[in-house]
Amino acid sequence: MTADELIDGYVADVVMLLPRKQRRDVAQELRMLLSEEVDAAASEQASPEQAARALLVSFGRPADVAARYGSPVTLIDPADTRRFLTLALAGAVLIPFGAVLNELIDHAGPQRDLGRAVDKAWPSVFAWLGLLVVGFAAAAWARRRRPDARWKPHPVPTDRINRPGRTAAIIFFVLGTLVLTNPAGLIRVVSGGRAASAVYRAFAYDEGFLRLRGPVVLGLMIAGLIIQATLLWQGRWRPWIRQAEMVNGLVTCIVLTWAVGAGPVFTATPTDRTVKGAAALIVLVTLIDLAVRARRYHVRQAVEIRE
């Protein structure tokens, strides 16, 4: 190829990426400038073609040069990239994990195919990524329309707790634990003993669950209650309470996954599926909550909040 052909090809690749109204003008100027540079660079040692090749390589990728000619539209603000990647990765991990939990709930031992469950989750992962792109692009567009938007001051959450709120939560948690320990007792109290036997059967625990998984889950719930009661007594978060709660949360997720996958919880299938579905949701929400809390705690440590 001659030097002129090389320059023409390069200029075409640059202006192809420019707005239509800019193309002719930039092409004319760029072509002229490149020709002059090649004429100056060509010598007895380097032919015009060699000089053109070297010049065009040093000029840069046509896409990069085109970007420098104007203000390229960014879909996602560079400032949002880290957050986008975090959410994308979280979705890419949690969605297949949710599919695995679903497979554990839907099928008993030999019929399970966890690999197939993960494969079927991929369209949902891509849908999540697409949703993120749309969401962040919309946010970037909204921000460009309000360039004067300012940061709004807000207090950083402290280590103090809301005692009345925490007390109410503990009472609710205790009542919930009592109900789960003895659902038949609640039915008897609510119905005055007049409920049909089918209702009691619907909430009967599986013997296998009661032998091992049940006591372990109950133990973890009690441990969680003790941590909350300690927090209430202390009146504020301490590092060791945070760590205890995070460990308890993580262990709870592992145990609930095991409880869901190792066999029936209730003898009645509809009740079993419903409770397992709720447990799977708790696992996913808890994992997200643990990650968010760990990040916030790390930020507080870095900033060294004064109280």
Give the nearest distance from C-beta 81 to another protein in angstroms: 21
Distance CA 90, CA 72 (A): 29
Contact 247, 223 (CB under 8 A): no
- C-beta separation of 213 from 254 below 8 A: no
Instruction: Provide the mask over 121-160, with x wherever binding to another protein is found by CB under 8 A and - wherever it is not.
Output: ----------------------------------------
How far is 228 from 238, CA to CA, in rounded Å?
Answer: 12
Question: Min. distance of Cβ 143 from another protein in angstroms?
Answer: 21
Q: Which is nearer to another protein, 28 or 269 (CB)?
A: 28
Query: Could you tell me the smallest distance in angstroms from the CB atom of residue 97 to another protein?
Result: 42
Separation between Cα atoms, residue 10 and residue 6, nearest integer Å: 6
Pinpoint the alpha helices (H) of 42-113: 48-59, 62-68, 81-106
Measure the CA–CA gap between 279 and 25, rounded to whole angstroms. 64
Binding characters for another protein, 17-56, by CB under 8 A (x = yes):
--------xx-xxx-xxxxxx--x--------------x-
Quick check: 68 binds another protein (CB under 8 A)?
A: yes
Least distance to another protein from the beta carbon of 82, Å?
23
Output 73 or 302, the one with its CB closest to another protein.
73
Return d(Cα 114, Cα 135) in angstroms, integer. Answer: 31
User: By the criterion CB under 8 A, which residues form the site for another protein?
Assistant: 25-26, 28-30, 32-37, 40, 55, 58-60, 64-65, 68-70
